[in-house]
Amino acid sequence: MQKAVFKSHTRFSEQQSHVFIRKQSSFWAKDGNTSVIEDEVVKAWDVINVHCSANARLAMMPWFADLGENIQQFLLYRHCRFFPMIFNHPEKCKGDVFLLLVVKSMIPQHRRREAIRKTWGQAREVRGKKVKLVFLLGAATRGEEHPHHQKLLEYEDRLYGDILQWDFEESFYNLTLKEVNFLKWFSIYCPSVPFVFKGDDDIFVHTGNVVEFLESSGNEPDLLIGAILYTSPPVREKNSKYFIPLEIFNETFYPPYVSGGGFLMAGPLAMKMHIASEDLDLFPIDDAFLGMCLKVLSVSPKEHIGIKTWGVQEPGRETMSKDPCFYQDLLVVHRFDPGELILMWKLLTSDLICTQVRLKAE
């Protein structure tokens, strides 16, 4: 039984839904011709349990034995894609929701979630638009005192009703599982939501500026903005957690992708990315995997100077600035601890006076 990739051997009970467009490309190992399969849209999360065995043929490949344990576990079980939900909130997108805030988190990061709920993630209307929040979580690992943490999370969800949790273990490589399970969830429950923000749980989001930008962006169905990595090469150093063997990706660069720290996309694009992801093998690096989905769809992400996923530096200084006047015109900034986030939010939502424009677009 593999412990790094998912929580339990379970059995696929997945009814195929929506329209699946299958394509071929040089950067994923799939066979088959382009085809379209139509079926009824599923209205409920239909994965009850999943039984998944290791890929025995892969384990016999000569190159496989030289890999580290974590990447081995990922590859042995990467055909395990969708998982049962522990906590689900299908009601989140009911009504006229304009923007869904989606935050990747882990069970122990309770303080980060609390800070977000008290600041930019609070349920409210922004500029007259309804904004909702959900957190994406996997299950606790055994080393995290699973029963204790799960009970606390159950209480937290009872209080706030904003946790989406799937029954696979949290790990670095399972971030891709969060992506594909969320995209499926969104396609089922949120087909009418026009915009999605996705980010980490240690970021600052100026929701007012985000909504204002989205209002002025038009109805572009393929909108995706963030901090873009155009020519990011795969890491070939075996000791790195980002290591990618040539046998699963042999190109010089990943397709362009946005930093997962925080980005905005149109709801229709999220629906199409779910379809595209169906025909891709899961990939260990979640950000790069989304770039592969974009390549399938022939969609190019766009840069936005207001999204700073590597922080904000004051001109002439190397350290990250926490001057609120630098943040009043930005959309997203990474990274903040809970105390810093609460303080920044209080300053920006007070009668802040800035004598001059402190941060120029770079």
Inter-CA distances, 301 with 3, 225, 291, 298, Å: 35, 6, 9, 10
Q: pLDDT per position in the chain (362 positions), as tens?
A: 333 344 433 333 333 332 222 233 334 444 444 333 334 344 689 999 888 899 999 999 999 999 999 999 999 999 999 999 999 999 999 999 999 999 999 999 999 999 999 999 998 899 999 999 999 999 987 665 667 889 999 999 999 999 999 999 999 999 999 999 999 999 999 999 999 999 999 999 999 999 999 999 988 999 999 999 999 999 999 999 999 999 999 999 999 999 999 999 999 999 999 999 999 999 999 999 999 999 999 999 999 999 998 887 666 666 677 889 889 999 999 989 999 999 999 999 998 888 765 444 44
Distance of alpha carbon 164 from alpha carbon 134, whole angstroms: 7
Distance of alpha carbon 128 from alpha carbon 124, whole angstroms: 9
The residue behind tokens 């239909």 is 46
What is the model's pLDDT at position 316?
63
The residue behind tokens 């971030």 is 175
**Reported CATH class of domain 84-303:** alpha beta
Q: What is the torsional sign of CA 318, 323, 325, 328? A: positive
What is the model's pLDDT at position 123?
82
Inter-CA distances, 284 with 139, 182, 187, 236, 278, Å: 18, 17, 23, 13, 16
- Domain boundaries, given as residue ranges, for the chain: 84-303
Q: Assess contact for 93 and 189: CB atoms under 8 A.
A: yes
Distance of alpha carbon 194 from alpha carbon 178, whole angstroms: 21
Inter-CA distances, 289 with 260, 274, 316, Å: 11, 12, 36
Of 70, 47, 61, 67, the residue nearest 285 (C-alpha): 70
What is the model's pLDDT at position 29?
40
The residues that bridge with 293 in the sheet, in sequence order, are none
Q: Helices marked H in 52-124 — which ranges?
A: 56-59, 69-76, 110-118
Of 279, 310, 284, 306, the residue nearest 295 (C-alpha): 279
Inter-CA distances, 18 with 14, 255, 290, Å: 13, 26, 19
